[in-house]
Amino acid sequence: MRKLLRPRDYLLLTIGILGDTFEEVKDPFGLQEQGSLYLYGWVPERWKKHNFERAVKRMLKTGDIEKILSHGKPVLRLTSAGRGKWLREFPLFELSRKRWDGWWRMVAFDIPNKLKGRRASLREKLEGLGMGRLQESLYITPFDFGGDLQEFINNHELSEYVEVFEARHIFGHDPQTLAYRVWHLDRLEERYSEFRQQLEKNQSFTSLDRFKFQTQFEEILLDDPLLPKELLPKDWDGFKVRKLILGM
């Protein structure tokens, strides 16, 4: 799912995931002088590189987010308009909640080198949708992105080079084993397991603790294909981590 994100996208992603638990921490984005780090503690590295204060103000002005009080603390929350944008920008979060229909969607392509720029754009699009690479020019997903994909293919004039089709079975693999191999879920599982252990060691959390762990969780999510639960083990640590984060 990882793709290039603007400050607005990070805010949209974070608030969409965490909802009212995303506190308005004082200067969390490192916008003040470097000395403020000694006062406020940990600041996410990538957030120091962007002017998120401007993004927050812009999104408040456009009505994508709103500031409310929750349990006496100021928090940022998506409005209905902001949630609509969140669902369009990050559709996997909604799709992953639905029961898998048992069909694999597959994209195969054979694009000549003279169009290598468009070929790279297609790969970026497929990977941005969380699709896994089964072979060099064959990507799969359990989700139906038909309309979105077709629009992309048409807009980039790739119709004669790309085939999109569905299959109930991919011979030689049961669905869970295939998912583990294609999306390298063993690596993701290890990251979730280590993070879960960090969370479980903490008995209480300050606002900055919550902010730190929430942004670490977001970094893992950006590498998570958010597969349907039918393709994951019942004791998947990703489920446990999400529950711990939302319960902080």
The residue among 179, 146, 178 whose CA lies nearest residue 163 is 146
What is the tens place of the pLDDT at every residue in 32-79? 333 333 333 334 555 554 556 677 788 888 888 888 776 777 677 888
CB 161, CB 109: distance < 8 Å: yes
pTM of the model: 0.76
Q: Report the CATH number at residue 158.
A: 3.30.70.240
157, part of any domain: yes
How many domains does one find in the chain?
3
Q: How many whole angstroms separate alpha carbon 204 and alpha carbon 138?
A: 46
Check whether residue 28 and residue 62 sit in a common domain. Answer: yes
Q: How many whole angstroms separate alpha carbon 16 and alpha carbon 19?
A: 6
Average pLDDT, the chain: 81
What is the tens place of the pLDDT at every residue in 117-153? 999 999 999 998 899 999 999 999 999 987 889 999 9
177, part of any domain: no
60, part of any domain: yes
Q: How many whole angstroms separate alpha carbon 247 and alpha carbon 241?
A: 10
Residue where one domain finishes, among candidates 47, 72, 94: 94
Domain residues for 188? 184-246
175, part of any domain: no
45, part of any domain: yes
Instruction: Write down the pLDDT at residue 216.
Output: 85
Check whether residue 45 and residue 78 sit in a common domain. Answer: yes
Instruction: Write down the pLDDT at residue 245.
Output: 84
Instruction: Write down the pLDDT at residue 4.
Output: 56
Check whether residue 27 and residue 49 sit in a common domain. Answer: yes
Check whether residue 87 and residue 11 sit in a common domain. Answer: yes
Q: How many whole angstroms separate alpha carbon 178 and alpha carbon 201?
A: 33
Check whether residue 191 and residue 235 sit in a common domain. Answer: yes
Check whether residue 160 and residue 195 sit in a common domain. Answer: no
